């Protein structure tokens, strides 16, 4: 049986130009299916390689490639104790929501 490695990512997006409001809403709804909304246009995601590829494919279909940008930052193994460390100034970010998603 293959072991699924879950990695932690920060995904940020900058959507601009004509039709940006509609694309922002679509990207936001898509991202909510993959991660935790931590700040405006910023999500914390725990993803397998397959889930990351699916996220990239879905976002790729939503954005205007000549105006929009989605930044994916890998932070390492999600099951490693240090992967969840980080800090904020001001309002704290709560513990990540642990959700089981079955992709069929």
Q: What is the pTM of this model?
A: 0.78
Q: For tokens 């930052």, what's the residue?
A: 73
Q: For tokens 């099951």, what's the residue?
A: 79
pLDDT at 45: 93
Q: For tokens 């998603």, what's the residue?
A: 101
Angle at 93 between CA 89 and CA 98, to 5 degrees: 155
Domain enclosing residue 61, as ranges: 34-80
Is residue 49 assigned to a domain? yes
Q: What is the pLDDT along the chain (104 residues), one digit of tens a residue?
A: 667 889 999 999 999 999 999 999 999 999 999 999 988 999 999 999 999 999 999 999 999 999 999 999 988 888 876 666 666 666 666 665 555 566 65
Is residue 92 assigned to a domain? no
pLDDT at 94: 63
Number of domains observed in the structure of the chain? 1
pLDDT at 104: 59
- Taking the alpha carbons at both ends of the chain, their separation in whole angstroms is 17
Is residue 26 assigned to a domain? no
Is residue 21 assigned to a domain? no
**DSSP classification of residue 84:** G
């Amino acid at each position: 049986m293959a072991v699924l490695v879950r990695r932690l990512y920060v995904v940020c997006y900058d959507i601009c130009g004509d039709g940006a409001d509609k694309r922002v809403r679509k990207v936001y709804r898509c991202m909510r299916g993959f991660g935790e909304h931590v700040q405006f246009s910023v999500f914390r995601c725990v993803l397998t390689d397959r889930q990351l590829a699916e996220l990239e494919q879905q976002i790729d279909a939503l954005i205007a490639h000549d105006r929009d940008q989605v930044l994916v930052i890998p932070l390492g193994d999600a099951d490693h104790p240090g992967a969840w460390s980080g800090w904020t100034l001001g309002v704290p970010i709560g513990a990540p929501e642990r959700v089981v998603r079955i992709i069929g």
